[in-house]
């Protein structure tokens, strides 16, 4: 029973990540003309860097 719950939780978590990824891509496409994977990757890396500096591991 515990294993089944863990599998359900994992599936729900992965589905949530998939939805977030689609929302992020949609947002970036709306902001950036001619978006490529490389551009999106750079934007996201830069964003993570800024968030890490700003948050100092605190909850945002």
Domain extents in the chain: 2-55
Q: Full-prediction pTM beyond 0.85?
A: no
- pLDDT score at 29: 93
What pLDDT tens digit does each residue of the chain (60 aa) get? Answer: 689 999 999 999 999 999 999 999 999 999 999 999 999 999 999 999 998 888 876 666
Considering only CA atoms, which of 17, 21, 11, 15 is closest in space to residue 41?
21
- pLDDT score at 59: 67
- pLDDT score at 23: 96
Alpha-carbon span 5 to 12, nearest angstrom: 10
Tokens encoding 7: 């599998």
């Amino acid at each position: 029973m515990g294993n089944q719950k863990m599998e359900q939780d994992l599936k729900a978590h992965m589905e949530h990540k998939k939805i977030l990824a689609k929302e992020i891509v949609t947002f970036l496409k709306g902001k950036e003309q001619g978006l490529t994977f490389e551009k999106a990757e750079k934007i996201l890396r830069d964003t993570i860097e800024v968030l890490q500096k700003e948050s100092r591991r605190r909850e945002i």
